[in-house]
Amino acid sequence: MASVQDAEVLVGPLGALAPADSEIAGPPGRQALRMFLRNRAAVFGVILFVAVLLMTIFGPMFYDNDASDIVARPVLAPGADGAPPLGTDYLGRDVLAGVISGGRVSLLVAAMAALMVVFIGVTIGATAGYYGGWVDTVLMRFTEFFQVLPALLFAMVIVALFTPSIATISVAIGLVAWPSIARLTRAEFLRLKNLEYVKAARAIGAGDWSIMSRVIFPNALPPLIVSASLLMGAALLFEAGLAFLGLSDPNTLSWGLMIGLNRANFLSAWWSVTFPGLAIFVTVLSFSLIGDGLQDAFNPKLRGR
């Protein structure tokens, strides 16, 4: 710290540049990480997310009630005599056990859907942006077709056509959510493909695939990482929405399904709906905070907006 202040004294008005310069040493990724860690909201988001993750992974080791077992009388409030910590639902099932095991399903679906979205979106967007011309035109019209379909209805149709399961729901969310990532990737590829270093890579004899994957893609990553983390939150909410509407595997409990099943008893047993809802809220909030933090870290110019 002292050395930084000394530098300021020595260089006078230029002093402000000296510490900034020493901060940008190292690879661009490390610099972004440092910015991210300095953002309190983002770090809070990471803590929330890690807490949720630990709860869903290690929760069952410490809390061995099964979510589908009837453990006590129905509609026992939290804190009531003989009730589990978060009460029981209308069938007498343990709400805490449901939140723990439902989290596994919700997070798994969110992660798989986000992966699916990134895979489809990046493949189509990168191809369209890199090759341009008629390839771009065809792929973008195709993307727009998916973009104008009403997302919830389209996803419901896909889930209803096949057996509702974790896989089909992830695929359904992936199929309705990829256009935004495709457009973002295309825009980045359009911007980057005419830069000097891409031309230079071609001039040393690199082929299309190596230019797309090794030269352009790493430079297009920052906005994609931001979108992907925000997308995880959106996918989680979407899954909850589908499950709430009954379009999920009735044998795999998720947070959305818990809310859907208990919605009729909302007034008499608020805890059976509130705690899974709170779990969704906290998880989506953590994704949002992380996404915003990443956005600021990768793009310092946007800070303060």
Partner 1 sequence: MTSHLAGVDAVLSVRNLTVTFGSFTAVDSISFDLHPGRTLAVVGESGSGKSVTALSIMRLVELGSRGRITGGEILFRSPDGSVIDLVRTEEEEMRHIRGNQISMIFQEPLTSLNPVYTVGNQVAEAVMLHQGLDADAARKRAVEMFELVRIPNPNERLDQYPHEMSGGMRQRVMIAMALSCDPTVLIADEPTTALDVTIQAQILGLMRDLQDETGASVIMITHDMGVVAEVADEVVVMNRSKVVETGTVYEIFENPAQEYTRSLLAAVPRLGSMSGTAAPARFDLVGVSDDSGSAGQGLS
Nearer to partner 1, 2 or 203 (CB): 203
Is residue 195 a contact residue for partner 1 (CB under 8 A)?
yes
**Please, are residues 296 and 229 in contact by the beta-carbon 8 Å criterion?**
no
Q: Encoding tokens for residue 71?
A: 């453990």
Q: Nearest distance from residue 229's CB to partner 1, in Å?
A: 20
Tokens of 260: 């859907």
Provide the minimum distance between the beta carbon of 189 and partner 1 in the complex, in angstroms, as a whole number.
Answer: 11
Does position 194 interact with partner 1 (CB under 8 A)? The reply is yes
Span 122-141, contacts to partner 1 by CB under 8 A: 132
Residue 94 phi, psi dihedral angles, 5° rounding: -75, 120
* Closer of 165 and 299 to partner 1 (Cβ): 299
Q: Min. distance of Cβ 2 from partner 1 in angstroms?
A: 24
Residue pair 4/23 in contact by the 8 Å Cβ criterion: no
What does residue 132 show for φ and ψ, rounded to 5 degrees? 60, -160
Q: What residues have CB less than 8 Å from 174, skipping those under 6 apart? A: 112, 113, 115, 116, 117, 119, 120
Close Cβ partners of 218 (under 8 Å, ≥ 6 residues apart):
none
Residue 12 binds to partner 1 (criterion: CB under 8 A): no
Q: How far apart are CA 266 and CA 2, in angstroms?
A: 60
Residue list 14-43, contact with partner 1 (CB under 8 A): 24-29
Nearer to partner 1, 81 or 196 (CB): 196
Least distance to partner 1, CB of residue 203, Å: 4
- Are the CB atoms for 236 and 52 separated by under 8 Å? no
The answer to whether 11 and 276 have CB atoms below 8 angstroms apart is no
CB of 43 to partner 1, least distance (A): 25
Strand partners, 88: 94
CB of 108 to partner 1, least distance (A): 31
Nearer to partner 1 among residue 126 and residue 215 (C-beta):
215
Q: Smallest gap, in angstroms, from Cβ of residue 301 to partner 1?
A: 16
Residues 218-237 that bind partner 1 (CB under 8 A): 218-219
Whole-angstrom Cα distance, residue 164 to residue 53? 24
Does residue 199 bind partner 1 (CB under 8 A)?
yes
Contacts of 114 (CB under 8 A, 6+ apart): 228, 231, 232, 235
300 lies in the site for partner 1, by CB under 8 A: no
One of 1, 13, 163, 196 touching partner 1 (CB under 8 A): 196
Query: Contact region for partner 1 (CB under 8 A) — 2-10, 171-179, 190-198, 292-300?
Result: 190-198
Stretch 200-219 residues interacting with partner 1 (CB under 8 A): 200-207, 210, 215, 218-219
Residue 62 or 209 with smaller CB distance to partner 1: 209
Nearer to partner 1, 127 or 272 (CB): 127
Binding footprint of partner 1, residue count (CB under 8 A): 25
Q: Which amino acid is at 289?
A: L
- CA pair distance 110, 260, nearest whole angstrom: 18
Taking the C-alpha atoms of residue 39 and residue 132, their distance in angstroms, rounded to an integer, is 38
Q: Which residues would be at the binding site for partner 1 (CB under 8 A)?
A: 24-29, 132, 193-197, 199-207, 210, 215, 218-219
